[in-house]
Structure formats: C-alpha cells, structure tokens
A and B are shown apart, each in its own frame.
Chain A
Amino acid sequence: MRLGTNSSIKRMVRPEAFPTPFCAGCGHGILMGAILRAIDELGWDMREMLFVSGIGCGGWIPSPHYAADTLHVTHGRPIAFATGAKLFNPKLKVVVIGGDGDIASIGGNHLIHGARRNVNLTVICANNGIYGMTGGQVTPTTPQGKRTVTTPEGNPERPFDLSQLLVAAGASYVARYSVYHVRQLIGALKAALEHPGFSFVEALTSCPVQYGRRNDLSTPTAMLEYFRDTCVTIARARTMTQEQLKDKTIIGEFIS
C-alpha cells in the first residue's frame, strides 16, 4: 500500500470517533488528513506519538480522532503540557495542534517561550483567523478590517504574523502554507516533524461558516480560492513591492 494515501492513513484514526464535529467546508479536515499523510509518509509509528491539543475547533483535530496517545487540555496550555511530557519521556514524538485562539491568543506566552526554549516539539497552528466554536469572534490573527461578531464594523486591530513572530522568538523550523496548498503543507509538516528542536507550521485553514460568511467568502470553494489568490511564495514576494504585497500572505519555509 502506498504511504500517505487514504487507504493507508485509515488505520491511523479511530473509526468510532467519526464523523468529525467540523462544519461542512471546514479546512480542519484537510489539515487533519495532511498531518496523518505526513506521519505516514515518514513511516512513523502512531504508538510512539503523543498529540497534545487545547480548546477550540483545532483542538479536536487529533482528539479523539487520531489512534495514538492524545492529551486534550485547558485552553491555551498545550505547549506547556507537551513540554512536560517530552522532557520526561524524550522517546515520545510530541505534536501540538491548536487553533489561533488557543495557540496565539490565550496561549501566546507559552508559544514564544516554547520557541525560545527549543524543546523538540512540533507545533501546528490551525489558523483560521476566528474563534469558530464560540460563534465567530475576532482573534489575534483576524486581518484588519474584517468583520466578526465582536468587530461588526471591521477589526480595528492589526493581526500577528505568526510565522514571523515565531522566527523572532527563536523557533528553529518555521513554515506557513494554506490548506489549498496541501502538497506543500504536507512537505512542511514532514520537515517539521523530522526537525530536531521546536518546529512550527502555520496552516491557514478555512472557516466559511464563522469567518467567510461575514466577509464575502461564504462557500468552501470561495475560501480556498481566497487562499489561492492571496498567498504568494517567498520567492515571488521578493519580486513584489510593498504595495503589491498589501493584503497578501507570504507562504513557504521561513527557517529550516
């Protein structure tokens, strides 16, 4: 059986945990699959892995779906829990998965300190720019001007560029792709998993229900096309002016 295919990764999930709680058109399903494909393509054994996740839609990606040890913790704290588990049992391959609200807002302090500390963890941020589970509130990565239920006239605040934040904080592997760029995303996930040290993958994922419908992107395809049209590679960005890069998101490996 070819690794990374649907039939191959099926054994890596708990069938009884499906269907997922995700809304139709949610990008988290693509990310959920991409992470498994990356692990499978590396030939890793799920029994050696620990997935730590926090609260919010992103926290449900591994728990309860993945057939591995999972630790579903308090809001914002998965990196702290993961640090303890990894330090005590370095044989565990520890992966943290969480949304932007979990990882970058309430858990922001643990994120930058995790990067600085450089413990061998892989942190995957399912960044959809919104609090989905609680009904569509603004997060630290919601683009300026976008509408959410708590910013009905448009977000007045500037968002974090999470990947750049992690580069500055000292993460030793940092990459960003969207769920539209799924092959590249899998490649980055593989590189992050294999990287010895704190690795960070920012996966831009779609939330047509809580984010898209308030921002003229109400269908699953509209959101994916949005990623297609607004993401530019690092190489291409170098050829563009600041004006041309306005409202664009740079994707690629920032530190590897």
Chain B
Amino acid sequence: MQGDEACAEGAIAAGCNFFAGYPITPATEIMEQMAHRFRGLPGRVFIQMEDELASIGALIGASWAGAKAMTATSGPGLSLMLENLGYAIMTETPLVVVDIQRAGPSTGQATRPAQGDVMQARWGAGGDYELIVLAPWSVSEMYYETVRAFNLAERFRVPVILLGDEGIGHLREKLEVRAETEVYARRKSPGAAPFGQAEVPPMPSFGEGEELLVTGSTHDARGYRRTSDKEAQAELVERLARKISANRQEIIRTEALLTEGELDVLFIAFGFTARSAYRAAQELRHEGLRAGLLRLSTLWPFAEEAVREVALRARRVLVPEMNRGQALREVQRLVPEARGYHRTDGEVITPAEIITAIKDWCS
C-alpha cells in the first residue's frame, strides 16, 4: 500500500468521520482515498472545499459539531491553513492536518520530496503556543501515526500535524494492521466550563444545549471574550502551552536503533531521511564503526531528553535532512558540535551520501 493511502486508512481506523480538503500534490491521494472510502458510509462527511482556508475552517466547525476531522495538504497549502490552525490552538479544537512535504519555497517542485516545513509546522501560526507534530518514516507508520495523531488531538484538545514527505507519501510497502485499534474518546462533562481550569477541559459539542461561546479572542473559562484583561491573556496562553509541555513524556516518541553503549557516530533523523540514516548506520557497523540512529517519531515538542541522553555517548552527531538544517538547529541547541547533512535539490538523501559525509568528517 502507498503511504498516502495508509494515512487515509489509519484515519478511518481512528474514527475520522469528517474530511475536507483541497487538491495539492503530493497529498491528493489522501483526499481521493477518503472520498472513496467514505462513499456510502453513514455519518461520514467528505467535502472538497474552495481552498485550504475553507478546508481547515470546515474542520473546526465540524469538530465542534462532534466530528473527528482531518485534512491533507502540502507546504503551500499549510501556509494557507496557518491562521485557522492558530484559531484551533486558541479554541482547543482537536483536528489532524497532514502535510506531505514537497520541495519549496512556494510552488517549488510539486512532485519532489523535501523536509522544509519543520519550522513552518512548529511556528507558522501567529502568537506563542505549543502543538504536536509527528513525523512517520514508513507506510506502516503513516497508518499508525495517523491513529496516534487523532488520539493525541482528542486527548489534549489540540491540532496535530502529521508531517510526512513526498518520499513516504508515495512509497509502497507492506502494511500490517492489528486487529484492534485503540481510539481515544472525546471527554464530555455536561455543564463544565469548556475552556476551564482543568489542564485539558472536557469538550462539549454544538447542539447539546450548552450555549457555547467559542471564540479565537482571548476568553475566560466559559468563553466570554477578555480582550483587555492581561491576567486572562497570560493565564490562557500559559495553560495552552502547559497542557502540551507538561505531558511531553506521553507525547514524545523516539526510536533508538543500534545505539547501545559508546558511539562513534549518531545520526538524528526523521521521516524518509531516517530510513537512509538507518541503512547507513547498519553499513557503517559492518565496516567497524559504531554507528546508530535516534529517530524522531514525534518532531514537536522536540525530544530534548532523548537527544541529550543518546548524544552524550556519541563522539559525533550528524543530522541529515532534506532542508538547510531545521531540525539541526534544535539539536545544536543541545549538542552544539552536531553537524548537518543537507540536500535541497528535491532528491532524497541516500545511505551512500550519509556514509560519505561521515567518513569525510572522520578523516
């Protein structure tokens, strides 16, 4: 199965019942698959909207009407969604945005892979906030990380970005699906303040008689606008950030491969590039170099603890990625001597390149 299709199947397994989108290469297959799979299924809504702004807008409206909602796009489309992504953060609206990255900036090369949206996904919406970004590295993870994206979105009432890339989106691999899928159900508590004191407040839906006030303006626990109250502003911004940062252990998932004991070289990578880095580490091990990989499955919040812990045992840290060094900046914050290996020509980074890069560094 293709990565994009696996994403759609994972969404359905997670209970996704609303999809709105706008065509964009290389994410279109997700939308097509959703349209195909929702056909004839009661209670599931698919709609192609007029643009990306409307797509995520429809998601937010549907999510407050009780839906588990998803859209899929690529870098330029994510740019258009960012204002409403900020709205979803401010109003604590669960939803999933899939970004199958392609070479940019702007229209760039639509059919070519890249990993240039690492920072756009993290910081693109205005204001100061935390959100969750996952970076699958296989077709299997396109399925299961989509499920996890829905569960985290519901658990923390936050938009979750699934940050794929053209390489993974169009990759074909065998997908093994477990019989049972764990699905997090939205927590309800009739009459409770929907933006209240709890770290993650329960979430009512429209039509339940709650007389909801949902607004992107700064608001109190019941949703009344507090547009000039500095305490209300600070309290809301801090709580929205804290509900993510205080639960880093639950959200952050990394995979350490071939990293037992002391390391001559540690690769830190995510998405398609992590596959090449893993292969490179295996080959380097055959050549007698102690090489390993720390794979970032959760990209944001950044896996600071894991990076520190594994990097401590490594003589060299190399961060290969299909951009000019976006995750590298985060790694260097923790490991200043870390180096990057970058490619921006719309081609994936191969294991051979990574091996050459590390040999050059060692020599």
Contact = CB atoms under 8 A, between A and B. Distances in A.
Interface in A60-79: 63-64, 67-74, 77, 79
Contacts of A139: none
B80 to A, nearest CB: 11
A69 B47 contact: no
Interface stretch (A44-52, A147-155, A204-212, A234-242): A44-52
Contact of B53 (A14, A72, A80): A80
B216 A84 contact: no
A24 interface: no
**Overall SS of chain B's interface:** mixed
Interface in A100-141: 109-110, 113
A72 B64 CA distance: 12
Contact of B216 (A67, A70, A74): A74
A254 interface: no
B264 to A, nearest CB: 51
Contact of B206 (A85, A87, A110): A85
A110 B206 CA distance: 22
Interface string A1-29: 00000000000001001000000000000
Interface string B312-331: 00000000000000000000
Contact of B62 (A68, A85, A109): A85
A114 to B, nearest CB: 9
B183 interface: no
B87 interface: yes
Given A47-B209, A48-B207, A72-B217, A81 B47 contact: no
A7 B55 CA distance: 41
A80 B58 contact: yes
Most-contacted residue by chain B among A81, A84, A109, A113 (CB, 10 A)? A84
A244 interface: no
Interface of B: 17-18, 20, 45, 47, 49-51, 53-55, 57-67, 69, 83-84, 87, 205-207, 209-217, 223-225
